A and B are shown apart, each in its own frame.
Chain A
């Protein structure tokens, strides 16, 4: 209104967001004249709101409505007339030399980590990580911000490698991590409602890098799942500009942010086409699909009508969106119920939940698990994007260590013991 329509404005924002909106305003070219009533304004009595309007701005101490009138009528200062946004400085490639202990402290105290120990990104380690792709280290991969409004940070292949090293990844994982970077999507977008994400890998790369899509695929028992999921969050922190309270406003936060439910799909034991094929990719292409919402809504067992009972009782941020992570046993059961294509199940579920809201593509089924129990997990996540990994893989193939790091695989029943000792 101020610039495009030439209209003086007085924005009123609750005091809880004073720093946030003033920073937002300045970074968007104006030092707007805000007034701040106390927080919250929603779900309080009318008497309380009356008191806010009659009372003072708790930040300035000035009567709120006097401040509003001042905002509309007091002539602009020279500073307000000629405001110039502050430009963020370019960052240097290397940090000042220090000891390992000091660097660990520096990274932690600057909020450059997820709070867990990291691998320091020395030049040697980053150079090794860069052998995981043929791409030029200085090639721009993308831009990211956890906010909706602040300046996006751009990053190169090398910058993604720095964050991959920090997460504990190896060069064989790097193509997946670059694909995450290329999406431009942070794993923990800033919202007072606290978002969470999930990432699912499909295609040949799952087996090449030893990802877990079987027993315990969502548990911390697999190296690739652990470090790739963690890398997405460390990238989101450093390349998506997480600054708690300033750019990151999740009120409760989410433990899902630590690893983003990183797993692969159990294509081998699924009765359906793999998820990425359903999204238009070929069987022999490798992809990572990105999902986001608020949280895991529930766990349960059983067939279609049980799944319907649960989703009827819940809601999420992206109305009508659900992603089920289902054990292969559930997929087999659903197929026996007549759902030979998961889209048929999605269409049935949408019809049962709300026939007017026909968006079956917002309901996804991912097959993950070890066939120990017909369990399913339901989230309120839609799938936002499926990203190709292959463009980031070296022409000579995935760069594996001479002896790739692998955690113990789940005991199978080949010898008849079924792992019971």
Chain B
């Protein structure tokens, strides 16, 4: 080993980017898979790079806005307060409060299809 003031060379200990990401659980994933790299569903950088945000609405007048309770502690009560706010402040906006049937980590395609069919926009809450 070199002396105290001599320069040495060492290897970088950090891993390389893989282009593989984790994603929400599938409906049939075991609950603990969200913390399980073997069973957790994956996304690729290519798929992620192709994603687009949806166009926005001109306004919310007469529109149906789904309020989705994600299932974290306090979410249900918070989203009820959001619904009350709309009732008091924007009565022309129709809101529908729904609760995810699956866990906060899990996909809920049945609910998404219902929202797509019957709604115009969606508010998710509350994460964390």
Could you list which residues of chain A lie within 8 angstroms of chain B, going by C-beta atoms? 1-14, 16-17, 20-21, 27-32, 37, 39-44, 46, 49-50, 52-54, 65, 68-69, 72-76, 80-81, 83-85, 87-95, 97-101, 103, 107, 112, 120-123, 126, 143-145, 147-155, 158-159, 162-163, 166, 184-186, 189, 191, 195, 234, 238-241, 292, 318, 382, 384-385
> Ordered nearest first, which 3 A-B pairs have the shortest CB separation?
A42-B73, A153-B15, A13-B127
* Contact A149–B21 (Cβ < 8 Å): yes
* Contact B8–A385 (Cβ < 8 Å): no
* Contact B13–A162 (Cβ < 8 Å): yes
For the complex formed, measure the closest distance between the CB of B67 and the CB atoms of chain A, giving whole angstroms: 10
Q: How many angstroms between the C-alpha atoms of A120 and B106 in the bound complex? A: 42
Taking CB atoms and an 8 Å cut-off, the chain B residues in 36-93 that contact chain A are: 36-38, 40, 43, 45, 48-60, 65, 72-75, 77-78, 81-82, 84-85, 89-90
Partner of A195 from B35, B49, B105, B119 at Cβ < 8 Å: B35
* Contact A241–B15 (Cβ < 8 Å): yes
* Contact B45–A93 (Cβ < 8 Å): no
* Contact A72–B35 (Cβ < 8 Å): no
* Contact A93–B78 (Cβ < 8 Å): no
Taking CB atoms and an 8 Å cut-off, the chain B residues in 77-121 that contact chain A are: 77-78, 81-82, 84-85, 89-90, 105, 112-113, 115-116, 119-121
* Contact A88–B81 (Cβ < 8 Å): no
* Contact B128–A28 (Cβ < 8 Å): no
List the B side residues contacting A100 at CB < 8 Å: 1-2, 4, 8
List the B side residues contacting A6 at CB < 8 Å: 54-55, 116
* Contact B115–A1 (Cβ < 8 Å): yes
Partner of A29 from B8, B51, B121 at Cβ < 8 Å: B51
Could you list which residues of chain B lie within 8 angstroms of chain A, going by C-beta atoms? 1-2, 4-23, 32, 34-38, 40, 43, 45, 48-60, 65, 72-75, 77-78, 81-82, 84-85, 89-90, 105, 112-113, 115-116, 119-128
List the A side residues contacting B73 at CB < 8 Å: 40-43
Interface centre among A11, A41, A90, A93 (most CB of B within 10 A): A41
Q: How many angstroms between the C-alpha atoms of A269 and B8 in the bound complex? A: 48
* Contact B16–A99 (Cβ < 8 Å): no
List the B side residues contacting A49 at CB < 8 Å: 74, 77-78, 81
List the B side residues contacting A31 at CB < 8 Å: 53
Interface centre among B22, B32, B128 (most CB of A within 10 A): B128
Q: List 8 A-B contacts (CB under 8 A).
A: A13-B128, A29-B50, A37-B78, A91-B16, A152-B21, A154-B18, A238-B15, A384-B36
List the A side residues contacting B19 at CB < 8 Å: 151
* Contact B22–A2 (Cβ < 8 Å): no
List the B side residues contacting A17 at CB < 8 Å: 127-128
Partner of A150 from B22, B90, B126 at Cβ < 8 Å: B22
For the complex formed, measure the closest distance between the CB of B23 and the CB atoms of chain A, giving whole angstroms: 7
* Contact B116–A90 (Cβ < 8 Å): no
List the A side residues contacting B59 at CB < 8 Å: 73
Q: Given the known A-B contacts A68-B123, A91-B14, A152-B37, are A41 and B72 also in contact in the complex, defined by CB atoms under 8 Å?
A: yes
* Contact A9–B52 (Cβ < 8 Å): no
* Contact B53–A11 (Cβ < 8 Å): no
List the A side residues contacting B18 at CB < 8 Å: 143, 151-154
* Contact A27–B21 (Cβ < 8 Å): yes
Given contacts A53-B82, A195-B35, 14 further A-B contacts (CB under 8 A): A3-B53, A7-B112, A28-B21, A29-B49, A50-B84, A76-B53, A81-B52, A93-B12, A97-B8, A100-B1, A148-B105, A153-B14, A184-B38, A384-B36
